[in-house]
């Protein structure tokens, strides 16, 4: 390691990926991986011990998870930059990572060269957001694409949504809400339309992803 | 790192591994790790099974290494197709510890090995060597749990009673696919898909498709990328 090298801490749950990335990054001039961790908790601890310049953070690591780890590391008074590496472009929580203090954001669909570039930019204290993620973020800021698509729902629609997500059928919902089955179906289709989904399962999955309902049926 | 690996190392030329992973960065990392062994080489990296099958038709890799987290439907289906079309190619699948039901089905469908996706580099080398010696490979941590499921009265799941086709349709329903899409994907009529779905509701004692989804979610058959 040269004295001016950018020191990197790698956080990813797959040892194979960590090991391969470490070797690939170490081969590039000016970069040096000083540590690897497999969980969010470890990332917080090792960031404190190793004082790297950049933490490369997988969003879906076990333990406290990538988001909480990002928040804790960013809140500590360490002089480092966090670059988040996500699995998919349309991650519903990317803005939360940026709010939590990440200064770089890319997906695992990028090349090694791009991740190296992101590390260098972040180490200079600047922001790096990969083109595919930036495009997605820009589109989601257009009118009609507010932060949460659920904000646009009426109270009745939310009520029907919650019941669908509890696994109830149309007949059951209509009895509970004292509406006709036809009206309940109309609400369902309006929900599908507003949220851009095609069926009850997709609707429920979207609600889970946004934390509107829990991961099990009784919540 | 240099434990003797008789079968794989004894080969006169590097062993061709076809790598299946949708993410470029992950492919690059795993490719590097395999190349560094000195006797394994990634002959190609592809993003999914369709591409893998096309590639295997023209150039026969020895091993197909699959790393597709969250795509149980594709993995199950792709592994079966490869086993049927190319009996000589050994398929090694990286899976999460929680995917017990998928692992069991993979082994039944002729996959040569299932390995914990959090495995070390050395374990991956050992797994490939085991496959090259003509044996099958299952990670210790996975084997333990799979064995427990075999003890009568323990570890059984409601999915054990499903046929391959039923499980396939369950996974697609649980991923939010509608009848038309499922029919198209599996080359079935919509009527057939509907009767499968009704049979699933009956067998699994669920009232709605949303209930089926939760059941699959609870058993780790499908996942939902979550915010925390």
Is A109 part of the contact surface with chain B (CB cutoff 8 Å)?
A: yes
* Sheet bearing A54-58, strands edge to edge: A31-37, A6-11, A54-58, A81-86, A104-107, A128-129
- Do A19 and B29 make contact, defined as CB atoms within 8 angstroms? yes
Question: In Å, how far is A51's CA from the nearest CA of chain B?
Answer: 24
Q: What is the pLDDT of residues A136-194, one digit of tens each?
A: 777 776 665 556 677 778 888 888 998 898 888 999 999 888 899 999 999 999 999 99
Mean pLDDT for B183-211 is 93
Structure tokens at A63: 């333990």
Substitution target in A24, A201, A211 with the highest count of B β-carbons within 10 Å is A201
Q: Give dist(CA A187, CA A19) in Å, integer.
A: 51
Nearest Cβ partner for B26 among A108, A164, A205: A108
CATH numbers and ranges of domains, chain B: 6-150 (3.40.50.2300), 158-218 (1.10.10.10)
Structure tokens at B93: 């699948």
Summary mean pLDDT of chain A: 87
Substitution target in B26, B172, B173 with the highest count of A β-carbons within 10 Å is B26
What residues of chain B lie within 8 A of the CB of A91, using their CB?
Answer: 225
Q: What is the pLDDT of residues B88-102, one digit of tens each?
A: 999 999 998 777 788
Structural domain boundaries in chain A: 6-140, 149-209
| Strands B137-138 vs B113-116: parallel, antiparallel or unpaired | parallel
Q: Give dist(CA A18, CA A2) in Å, integer.
A: 21
Nearest Cβ partner for B23 among A108, A165, A211: A108
Poorest-pLDDT segment among A47-51, B121-125, B143-147, B212-216: B143-147
- Do A201 and B224 make contact, defined as CB atoms within 8 angstroms? no
Q: In the structure, what pLDDT confidence band is assigned to residue B10 with cuts at 50, 70 and 90?
A: low
Q: Give dist(CA B193, CA A111) in Å, integer.
A: 40
Domain range A6-140, CATH architecture: 3-Layer(aba) Sandwich (3.40)
Cα→Cα distances B174→B73, B208, B214, Å: 10, 11, 8
Which residue in B has a C-alpha nearest to residue A168's C-alpha? B208
Q: What is the pLDDT of residues B101-147, one digit of tens each?
A: 888 889 988 899 999 999 999 999 999 999 999 999 999 888 888 88
- Do B124 and A93 make contact, defined as CB atoms within 8 angstroms? no
Q: What is the pLDDT of residues A185-209, one digit of tens each?
A: 999 999 999 998 999 999 999 888 8
Q: What is the pLDDT of residues A85-123, one digit of tens each?
A: 987 766 656 777 888 899 999 999 999 999 999 999 999
Structure tokens at B79: 């592994």
Which residue in B has a C-alpha nearest to residue A209's C-alpha? B226
Chain B residues within 8 angstroms (CB to CB) of chain A: 22-26, 28-33, 36, 67, 69, 94, 117-121, 124, 173-176, 178, 206-214, 217-218, 224-228
Nearest Cβ partner for A112 among B28, B178, B211: B28
**A202-211, B148-157, B205-214, range with greatest mean pLDDT:** B205-214
- Do B210 and A204 make contact, defined as CB atoms within 8 angstroms? yes
Q: Give dist(CA B161, CA B134) in Å, integer.
A: 31
Q: Give dist(CA A52, CA B163) in Å, integer.
A: 52
Is A171 part of the contact surface with chain B (CB cutoff 8 Å)?
A: no
CB within 8 Å of A215: residues ≥ 6 apart: A208, B217, B224, B226
Summary mean pLDDT of chain B: 88
Q: What is the pLDDT of residues A21-33, one digit of tens each?
A: 999 999 999 999 9
Percent above pLDDT 70 for chain B: 90
Structure tokens at A7: 């020191």
Q: What's the per-residue H, E or C state across chain A? A: CCCCCEEEEEECCCHHHHHHHHHHHHCCCCEEEEEEECCHHHHHHHHHHHCCCEEEEECCCCCCHHHHHHHHHHHCCCCCEEEEEECCCCCCCHHHHHHHCCCEEEECCCCHHHHHHHHHHHHCCCCEECHHHHHHHHHHCCCCCCCCHHHHCCHHHHHHHHHHHCCCCHHHHHHHHCCCHHHHHHHHHHHHHHHCCCCHHHHHHHHHHCCCCCCCCCC
- Do B22 and A23 make contact, defined as CB atoms within 8 angstroms? no
- Do A167 and B217 make contact, defined as CB atoms within 8 angstroms? no
What residues of chain A lie within 8 A of the CB of B171, using their CB?
Answer: none
- Do B209 and A24 make contact, defined as CB atoms within 8 angstroms? no
CB within 8 Å of B34: residues ≥ 6 apart: B17, B19, B40, B41, B42, B65, B124
Whether residue A13 contacts residue A58, with contact meaning beta carbons closer than 8 Å, is answered with yes
Mean pLDDT for B4-23 is 80
Structure tokens at B166: 């039923």
The conformational region for residue B155 under phi > 0 = left, psi -120 to 50 = alpha, else beta, is: left
| Strands B90-95 vs A128-129: parallel, antiparallel or unpaired | unpaired
The domains spanning A6-140 and A149-209 adopt the same CATH topology: no
Is A112 part of the contact surface with chain B (CB cutoff 8 Å)?
A: yes
Nearest Cβ partner for A169 among B173, B178, B207: B207
Whether residue A46 contacts residue A37, with contact meaning beta carbons closer than 8 Å, is answered with yes
Nearest Cβ partner for A17 among B29, B175, B178: B29
- How distant is the alpha carbon of residue B126 from its chain centre? 19
DSSP string, chain B: -----HHHHHSSSPEEEEEE-S-HHHHHHHHHHHHTTSSEEEEEEESSHHHHHHHHHHS--SEEEE--TT-HHHHHHHHHHHHHH-TTSEEEEEE-TT-HHHHHHHHHTT-SEEEETT--HHHHHHHHHHHHTT--EE-HHHHHHHHHHHSTTSS--GGGG--HHHHHHHHHHHTT--HHHHHHHHT--HHHHHHHHHHHHHHTT-SSHHHHHHHHHHTTSS------
In this predicted structure, what is the pLDDT of residue B101?
Answer: 82
Is A165 part of the contact surface with chain B (CB cutoff 8 Å)?
A: yes
Mean pLDDT for A1-18 is 91
- Do B29 and A216 make contact, defined as CB atoms within 8 angstroms? no
Which residue in B has a C-alpha nearest to residue A163's C-alpha? B210
Domain range A149-209, CATH architecture: Orthogonal Bundle (1.10)
Q: What's the per-residue H, E or C state across A130-189? A: CHHHHHHHHHHCCCCCCCCHHHHCCHHHHHHHHHHHCCCCHHHHHHHHCCCHHHHHHHHH
């Amino acid at each position: 390691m040269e004295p001016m090298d950018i020191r990197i801490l790698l956080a990813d749950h797959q040892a194979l990926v960590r090991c391969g990335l470490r070797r690939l990054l170490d081969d590039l001039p000016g970069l040096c991986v000083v540590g690897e961790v497999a969980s969010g908790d470890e990332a917080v601890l090792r960031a404190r011990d190793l004082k790297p310049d950049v933490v490369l953070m997988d969003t879906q690591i076990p333990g406290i998870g990538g988001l909480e780890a990002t928040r804790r590391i960013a809140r500590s008074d360490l002089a480092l930059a966090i670059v988040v590496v996500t699995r998919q472009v349309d991650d519903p929580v990317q803005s939360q990572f940026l709010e939590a203090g990440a200064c770089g954001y890319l997906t695992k669909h990028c090349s090694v060269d791009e991740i190296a570039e992101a590390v260098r930019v972040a180490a200079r204290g600047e922001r790096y957001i990969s083109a595919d993620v930036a495009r997605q973020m820009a589109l989601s800021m257009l009118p009609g694409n507010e932060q949460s698509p659920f904000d646009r729902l009426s109270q009745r629609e939310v009520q029907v949504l919650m019941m669908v997500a509890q696994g109830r059928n149309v007949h059951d919902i209509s009895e509970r809400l004292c509406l006709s089955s036809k009206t309940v179906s109309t609400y369902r289709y309006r929900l599908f339309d507003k949220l851009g989904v095609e069926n009850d399962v997709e609707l429920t999955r979207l609600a889970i992803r946004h934390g509107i309902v829990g991961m099990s049926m009784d919540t | 790192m240099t434990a003797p690996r008789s079968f794989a190392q004894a080969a006169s030329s590097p062993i061709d591994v076809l790598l299946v992973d949708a993410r470029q960065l992950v492919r690059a990392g795993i490719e590097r790790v395999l190349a560094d062994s000195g006797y394994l080489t990634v002959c190609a990296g592809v993003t999914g099974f369709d591409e893998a099958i096309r590639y295997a038709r023209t150039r026969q890799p020895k091993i197909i290494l699959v790393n597709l987290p969250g795509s149980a439907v594709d993995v199950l289906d792709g592994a079966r197709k490869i086993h049927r079309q190319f009996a000589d190619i050994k398929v090694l699948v990286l899976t999460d510890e929680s995917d017990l039901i998928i692992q069991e089905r993979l082994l039944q469908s002729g996959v040569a090995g299932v390995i914990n996706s959090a495995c070390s580099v050395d374990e991956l080398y050992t797994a490939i060597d085991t496959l090259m010696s003509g044996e099958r490979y299952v990670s210790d941590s996975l084997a333990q749990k799979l064995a427990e499921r075999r003890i009568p009265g323990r570890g059984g799941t409601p999915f054990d009673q499903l046929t391959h086709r039923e499980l396939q349709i369950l996974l697609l329903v649980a991923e939010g696919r509608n009848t038309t899409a499922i029919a198209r994907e599996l080359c079935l009529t919509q009527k057939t898909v509907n009767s499968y779905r009704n049979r699933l509701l009956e067998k699994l004692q669920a009232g709605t498709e949303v209930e089926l989804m939760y059941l699959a979610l609870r058993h780790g058959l499908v996942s939902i990328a979550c915010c925390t």
